A = this chain, B = another copy of it.
Amino acid sequence: MDRKEKYERRQARKAEKERALEEARLEQERLQLKKDKKYMRQAITQAKKAAAIGEVPIGCVIVKDDEVVARGYNRRNADHNTLSHAETVAIRRASKKLGDWRLEGCTMYVTLEPCQMCSGALVQSRIDRVVIGCDNPKAGCAGSILNLLDMPQFNHRVEITRDVLKEECSAVLTGFFKELREKKGREETGNEGREEA
C-alpha cells in the first residue's frame, strides 16, 4: 500500500465517521422534535380548557425527566388575578410539586410566546428550556418585542425552541377570536331585532 492509498483510506474513514455523527445528530433531532410535539399537544389541550371558560386560549405544561410535573391554562378573568396566565399557573404548581423555586432540569411547552411577566418568571425560575408554539408579534418577550429569556445581563439564560406545532397553536387562538366576533355579531343583530320589534 503506497502513501497515496493510505491517505485515501484515512480520508474515507474520516468521511464515514462524520456521516455517522451527522446521522446520529439528525436522529436525535428527529426524536427531540417528536417529543416536543407530544408535549406541545398536551399544552394545546390546556389551551382548549381556557377557551371552554371563555378565556383567551393559551396553555402550557412543564416537563422534567420525561414526566409532566405541572399544567396551566390562562384563567386571568376567572381568577380575577394578574398572575393567572398559563405559564405563571404552571410555574407555581411545578415549584410546589418539586418543593423548590428553582425549576432546573425542566422544560416548558407553551402554545403562545410568553409576555414580559411570564418571560421574567421563567428567567427567575431558572428553567432550562422553553418550547414555543406560535409567536406573539405584538406583546411577546421571548424574541418579538424583546428577548428576556436570553439577555447576557441576567444571571440565567433560557434555551428557546420555536415554531413547534405552530399552525395548530395559532389555529386555537384564531378560532377563539373568530367565534367571539361571530357571537358578538349575533348579539348585536339580536339587539337590533329587539329594538325594531
Chain B residues contacting A117 (CB-CB under 8 Å) are 117, 120-121, 123-124
Q: How many residues of A contact B (CB 8 A)?
A: 39
Minimum CB distance partner of A95 in chain B: B81
A101 close to B120 (CB less than 8 A): no
Stretch of A41-49, A146-154, A174-182 on the interface side? A146-154
Chain B residues contacting A98 (CB-CB under 8 Å) are 80
Cβ 8 A contact of A121, one of B82, B102, B151, B154: B82
B121 close to A83 (CB less than 8 A): yes
A96 close to B116 (CB less than 8 A): no
Tell me whether A119 and B120 are in contact in the complex, defined as CB-CB below 8 angstroms, given that A83-B88, A101-B77, A101-B82 are known contacts: yes
A100 on the B face (CB < 8 A): yes
Count of this chain's copies in the oligomeric assembly = 2
Q: How would residues 69 to 86 of chain A score, 1 for a CB under 8 Å from any chain B CB and 0 otherwise?
A: 000000011011111110
In Å, the complex CA distance between A119 and B119 comes to 11
In Å, the complex CA distance between A126 and B59 comes to 23
B83 close to A92 (CB less than 8 A): yes
Chain B residues contacting A51 (CB-CB under 8 Å) are none
In Å, the complex CA distance between A59 and B153 comes to 24
A91 on the B face (CB < 8 A): yes
Minimum CB distance partner of A99 in chain B: B80
A145 on the B face (CB < 8 A): yes
A153 to chain B, nearest CB (A): 5
**Chain A residues packing against B (C-beta within 8 Å):** 76-77, 79-85, 88, 91-92, 95-96, 98-103, 115-121, 123-125, 139, 141, 145-146, 148, 151, 153-155
16 CB contacts below 8 A, A to B, read: A80-B98, A80-B100, A81-B92, A81-B96, A82-B91, A82-B103, A82-B121, A116-B119, A116-B120, A116-B124, A117-B124, A118-B120, A120-B141, A145-B154, A146-B146, A146-B153
